[in-house]
Chain A
Amino acid sequence: MSTVVQPVDDLAPPESSRVHYLNAKYGVRSWLLTTDHKRIALLYLVSITLMFFVGGAFAVLMRLHLIEPQGTLVEPDTYNKLFTLHGIIMIFFFLVPSIPATLGNFLVPMMVGARDLAFPKLNLLSWYIYVAGAILALYSAIAGGVDTGWTFYTPYSSTFSHTNVTAVAVGVFVMGFSSILTGLNFIVTIHKMRAPGLTWFRLPLFLWAIYATSIIMILGTPVIAITLFLLGLERLLHIGIFDPAIGGDPILFQHLFWFYSHPAVYIMILPAMGVMSELITCFSRKRIFGYGFVAFSSMAIAVISFLVWGHHMFVTGQSIYAALIFSVLSFLVAIPSAIKVFNWMATIYQGSISYQAPMLYALGFIGLFTMGGLTGLFLASLATDVHLNGTYFIVAHFHYIMVGGTVMAYLGGIHFWWPKITGRMYPDGWARFAALVIFVGFNLTFFPQFMLGYLGMPRRYAVYPVEFQVLNVMSSAGASILGIGYLIPLIYLVWSMRYGPPAGPNPWKAKGLEWQTPSPPPTENFPEIPVVTEDAYEYAKPGGHRE
């Protein structure tokens, strides 16, 4: 730990008397009416953490239920509501906002050397919109639930389900505007508010990833909004867009839904890749290998991600020629991801690697994301997708990407920037222990699901044939370990806010503008707007920016 605590900057006043964004004002009003991007990031952090544990609780109940083939806990109806709410909450209210709304909000202005985002009030508004959407979703969960699956497939959702589909759809619809506003804010900020000397190719790769993500948010989210709006109209007025009984087409819904929801996968994973580039460079003290390749692979992913939606629909009766095109494009989108993984590995090469908690999360990400990505090839392949579509293989695949990838990187990022956000250190031993527990628990939970999928167990089954039990029990055992793994950081991070030792401005000796200001930063971020004279990740220059 001695390596971690840096002497407080000589020029800075003593920690206790220094004014920073956290102690500049007190009281509920000062938080709820703040336009400071750092405070809004914390508002988001609290809200999405709450949603994460609500969604996680649903997952724990599901895994408990599936210990026995006939189900141990709930009626099938209730089980269907559990997986639906788990999916909706985790995807729309945790994963989509996760890294952009918390770390992105905190870091984008600091990384470009600005005092705030371009539109601070819009930023606060986007949080209120998020909260309104989340309240609607939670209300529907309490008032009877919803049972369509997070995919809302018609005509089940439009005509047959008797649950709160409309309320949840409105919740997701509303939440979408928060995404759009956040994306807009980031794009304008990155374009217009970079500090003098901070050219595009000096930007930290986190910003390239956030920029690519913002483009998807702005272009994709309106489509899901339109889709859910049509779904609501269909439910309320039976206008006949999706209902075949009155001339509609239920498959049209899937086209519209996946036109957003596949790019949304990249809304969730691209920021995680951005975090990765920051962690890998800092903890191996190396400049990123292949900056241009890593930056442009983010943009390539953003573009191609809009052209692969049909791979969710290979077994709907889609024309085999359409399937062929969606298949080849799906293979194509895998390549930029592979490029990133190889570049991160080359970055570590000959580095000076330290194993503090954020780096353990980062290395865990590489392993799990690689497995998640490679198992995607099984699903891009037409012949194997026919067998695997709709089974647990899919469930395992996307959890390796979304949980093994995004959540690992998110936690790595939270641990990396925690000293900057709070000004205090957490106990690194506990943090490493938690990373290990999460890695083990995650693999035990989801690896058996790959096997279940090839054996033919369909997803979303409240009861299942007895021959699938062994693997289900393994998965449930893993989930209990994973659940504990996620609770440990919650405890020590909260503890550290009061009892953690002061972190100093730059405990990791990291580069990047956000480390050139005290921790926690003053409300205006920088006493003076910095002038940038070098590329990102100049770890080869001893001392770097602070000299």
Chain B
Amino acid sequence: MTGLIQPGLGLLAAIQEGVPIRPEAASSIAEGVDRLYFFLTGVTLFFTALIFIVIFYFMVKYRRRSDDEQPPETGENLPLELTWTVVPTLLTAVIFVWSSSLYFRNSRPPTASTEIFVIGKQWMWHLQHPEGVREINELHVPVNVPIKLTMTSEDVIHDFYIPAFRVKKDAVPGRYTSLWFQATKTGVYHLFCAQYCGADHAEMIGWVYVMNQPDYAAWLSGGARNESMAQTGERLFNQLGCITCHVADGTGRGPSLAGLYGKPEKLRSGEMRPVDEALIRQAIVNPNSILLPKYPPIMPTFQGQVNEEQVLQLIAYVKSLGSEERKLKAK
């Protein structure tokens, strides 16, 4: 019986406290999203109330009083038709402009974001900081710092959702998606998977810890000393034998990777592609799909030999070799 009473009491307490109407707003975009949400709620309530009141009024006023009653004929009314076509059109236009401009602002990460890597896997979240710290189902971030998440999935589509930040993005196998936020309040917030992903979808949840800068620095340096992602990537680069062809001075059978990141490359197909995370990933798992004109198609695929986490470490290593931007700046 106690097993039943306990949750019952909890429920009673929750009812007394009342049900909140919005989740905690703990990111730089949350208030803006909430304003739009409350405006839309206002529009919904206004029109719903209007329609209910008018219907009830008509129901009473025009109720049938005798069985052979004959109501007067109402003619067509073009101005009225145009009014209720134009008013909703204008209203939705306002909502569209508001929501789209907000979305544009919300979806562009500031250039100086700290990057963290996310891999969804049935049924857990793997997170990796560039400094090398790895977490499962927990994400520690500093407050007031823009964070950019680069995400992929090891198996099916997942979705990384932090309600308190009003952010959500799918983690899709075979490609990178990104998401950014800037937490504004320290605290602990829910992390949910919001794309159904199989048996334990509802257990693919975790917590986001937003910490003060000093606490975060202490947390990051605490525990066992880790090598950075780029260092792990370099070790892999040597172990897998990538280094035998991708020689740094450009004399190898494959292109040198130094300074490659960010540079546009012309493929054999004639297509121009910037060297970004997606292109490097593609080069590792499916090299024949992005052949370069000057190099023979001899690279084997590494699909199945490296997991998504290792691919990200290799990418981190390639990025650490310098980017086109930095070379230009040095000149």
By a beta-carbon cutoff of 8 Å, the part of chain A in contact with chain B is: 3, 68-69, 76-77, 80, 147, 149, 153, 155-156, 159-161, 244-245, 247, 249-251, 284-287, 289-290, 293, 315-317, 320, 323-324, 327-328, 331-332, 334-335, 338-339, 341-343, 345-355, 363, 366-367, 370-371, 374-375, 377-378, 380-384, 386-387, 389-391, 451, 454-456, 458-467, 469-471, 473, 539-540, 542
How many of B's residues come within 8 Å of A, CB to CB? 91
Q: What 1/0 flags go to B272-299 for Cβ under 8 Å of A? A: 0000000000000010010000000000
B41 to A, closest residue via Cβ: A378
Q: Closest 10 interchain pairs by CB?
A: A456-B163, A244-B174, A381-B99, A382-B103, A390-B194, A317-B177, A461-B202, A383-B102, A331-B92, A374-B44
17 A-B pairs within 8 Å (CB atoms) are namely A80-B201, A250-B174, A285-B64, A317-B177, A327-B100, A335-B92, A339-B85, A349-B58, A352-B71, A353-B62, A377-B43, A384-B36, A389-B168, A391-B194, A454-B21, A456-B161, A540-B71
Min distance, Cβ B313 to any Cβ of chain A, angstroms: 20
Picked from A69, A285, A324, A473, the residue with its CB within 8 Å of the CB of B69 is A285
- With A334-B88, A381-B99, A456-B190 already in contact, the answer to whether A149 and B196 are too (CB < 8 A) is yes
Instruction: Select which of A350, A384, A386, A467 is within 8 A of B71 by beta carbon.
Output: A350
- For window 31-58 of B, CB contacts with A under 8 Å fall at 32-33, 36-37, 40, 43-44, 47-48, 51-52, 54-55, 58
Which residues on the A side are within 8 Å of B67 (C-beta)?
3
- Across the interface, name the chain B residue whose C-beta is closest to A75: B199
B202 to A76, Cβ gap below 8 A?
yes
Among A245, A284, A383, contact of B106 (Cβ-Cβ < 8 Å): A383
Give complex CA distance A387, B198 in Å. 22
Q: Which residues of A contact B164 (CB under 8 A)?
A: 456
Residue contact A367 to B55, C-beta cutoff 8 Å: yes
Considering the chains assembled together, what is the distance between the CA atoms of A352 and B67 in angstroms? 9
Do residues A366 and B51 form an inter-chain contact, with CB atoms below 8 A? yes
B residues in contact with A352, CB < 8 Å:
62, 64-65, 69-71
Q: How far is the CA of A55 from the CA of B202 in the complex (A)?
A: 22
Q: B20 at interface (Cβ–Cβ under 8 A)?
A: yes
Quick check: A386 and B167 within 8 Å, CB to CB?
yes
On whether A160 and B159 interact (CB within 8 A), knowing A290-B76, A455-B20, the answer reads no
Q: Bound complex: CA of A211 vs CA of B7, how far in Å?
A: 53
**Closest residue on chain B to residue A469 by CB atoms:** B11
Q: Are B92 and A377 in contact (CB under 8 A)?
A: yes
Which residues does chain B contribute within 8 Å of A320, judged by CB atoms?
A: 103-104, 107
Among A153, A156, A331, A470, contact of B11 (Cβ-Cβ < 8 Å)? A470
* Of the residues A284, A293, A315, contact of B168 by C-beta under 8 Å: A315
Q: Contact: A387 with B166, CB < 8 Å?
A: yes
Expressed in whole angstroms, the Cα–Cα distance for A249 and B172 within the complex equals 10
Nearest A residue to B89, CB-CB: A335
Query: Does B80 contact A346, Cβ atoms closer than 8 Å?
Result: yes
Q: Which of B51, B63, B85, B159 has the most CB of A within 10 A?
A: B51
Q: A353 with B63: in contact, given A334-B92, A339-B85 (CB under 8 Å)?
A: yes
Q: Residue A390 contacts which of B14, B161, B303 (CB distance < 8 angstroms)?
A: B161
Report whether B201 and A461 are in contact in the complex, using a CB–CB cutoff of 8 Å. yes
B200 nearest in chain A by CB position: A76
Most buried by B among A352, A387, A456, A461: A387
| Inter-chain contacts of B286 with A (CB < 8 A) | 247
Instruction: Pick from A80, A391, A461, A467: contact of B14, CB below 8 A.
Output: A467
A156-B157 contact given A244-B173, A285-B71, A540-B73, CB 8 Å threshold: yes
Q: Is the CB of A156 within 8 A of B10?
A: no
Contacting residues, chain A, for B303 (C-beta < 8 A): 245
CB-CB under 8 A from A384, the residues of chain B are: 33, 36-37, 40, 99
Residues of B close to A542: CB separation below 8 A: 70
Q: Whose C-beta in chain A lies nearest to the C-beta of B80?
A: A346
Verify B44–A387 contact, CB threshold 8 A.
no
Do B40 and A363 have beta carbons less than 8 Å apart? no
The answer on a CB contact under 8 Å between B69 and A346 is: no
User: In the complex, how many angstroms separate the beta carbon of A16 from the nearest chain B beta carbon?
Assistant: 27
Beyond A320-B107, A383-B36, 4 additional contacts (C-beta under 8 Å) are: A149-B196, A317-B175, A343-B81, A381-B95
Does B212 touch A at the CB level, under 8 Å? Answer: no
Taking CB atoms, residues of chain B closer than 8 Å to A458 are 161, 192-194, 202
A68 to B14, CA, bound (A): 13
Contact call A389/B194, Cβ cutoff below 8 A: yes
Interface contact A355-B59, CB-CB below 8 Å: yes
Does B156 interact with chain A (Cβ within 8 Å)?
Answer: yes
How many angstroms from the CA of A195 to the CA of B145 in the assembled complex?
72
Task: Give the residues in chain B near A466, CB-CB below 8 Å.
Answer: 10
Give chain A residues whose Cβ lies under 8 Å from the Cβ of B325: none
A155: B residues at CB distance < 8 A: 155-157, 173
The smallest beta-carbon distance between B119 and chain A, in angstroms, is 14
How far is the CB of B141 from the nearest CB of chain A, in Å?
A: 18
Chain A residues, Cβ within 8 Å of B201 = 76, 80, 460-462
Take A290-B81, A345-B51 as given contacts and tell me if A315 and B159 are in contact as well, using a CB distance cutoff of 8 Å. Answer: yes
Establish whether residues A160 and B84, one from each chain, have CB atoms under 8 Å apart when the complex forms: no
Q: Are A284 and B70 in contact (CB under 8 A)?
A: no
B228 within 8 A of A: no
- A76-B200, A345-B58, A454-B37 known; A386-B92 Cβ under 8 A: no
Asked whether, in the complex, the Cβ of A317 is within 8 Å of the Cβ of B172, the reply is yes
Question: Are the C-beta atoms of A348 and B62 separated by less than 8 Å?
Answer: yes
- Chain B residues with Cβ below 8 Å from A461 are 201-202
Please, which residues of chain A bring their CB within 8 A of the CB of B200? 76
Complex formed: what's the CA distance from A334 to B99 in Å? Answer: 16
Residues of A within 8 A of B44 (CB): 371, 374-375, 377
Report A-chain residues with C-beta under 8 Å of the C-beta of B81: 290, 293, 339, 343
B2 at the interface (CB under 8 A from A): no
Residues of A within 8 A of B155 (CB): 155, 160
For B23, what are the chain A residues with a Cβ–Cβ distance below 8 Å? 454-456
Chain A residues whose CB sits within 8 angstroms of the CB of B163 once the complex forms: 387, 455-456
Residues of B within 8 A of A342 (CB): 84
User: Which residue on A lies nearest to B106, using beta carbons?
Assistant: A383
State how many angstroms separate the Cβ of A268 from the closest Cβ of chain B: 22
Q: Please measure, in the bound complex, the distance between the C-alpha atom of A126 and the C-alpha atom of B177, giving whole angstroms.
A: 44
Decide if A284 touches B62 in the complex (CB within 8 Å). Answer: yes
For the complex formed, measure the closest distance between the CB of A442 and the CB atoms of chain B, giving whole angstroms: 15
Cβ of B102: which chain A residues have Cβ within 8 Å of it? 382-383
In the complex, residue of chain B having the shortest beta-carbon distance to the beta carbon of A157: B156
Contact B62 A349 (CB under 8 A): yes
Per the bound structure, the CA–CA distance linking A216 and B170 in Å amounts to 30
- In angstroms, how far is the closest chain B Cβ from the Cβ of A48? 27
* B156 lies within 8 A of A355 (CB): no
Contact status B36-A456, CB under 8 Å: no
Cβ of A349 and Cβ of B51 under 8 Å apart? Answer: no
CA distance A280 to B183 in the complex (A): 52
CB distance from A435 to the nearest CB of B (A): 14
* Contact of B196 with A153 in the complex, beta carbons under 8 Å: yes
Within 8 A of A (CB), among B94-153: 95-96, 98-100, 102-104, 106-107, 122
Residues of B within 8 A of A456 (CB): 23, 161, 163-164, 190, 192
| Residues of chain B contacted by A249 (CB below 8 angstroms) | 174
Q: Interface code B5-28, partner A: CB below 8 Å = 1, 0 otherwise?
A: 001001100110001111100000
Closest to B58 in A: A348
A389 to B33 Cα, complex, angstroms: 14
Q: Which residues of B contact A247 (CB under 8 A)?
A: 286, 289
Across-interface contacts of B74 in A (CB, < 8 A): 286-287, 289, 346-347, 349-350
Let me know if B88 and A335 touch, CB within 8 A: yes
Is B72 among interface residues, defined by CB-CB distance under 8 A?
Answer: yes
- Cβ–Cβ < 8 Å partners of A386 in chain B: 33, 103, 106, 166-168
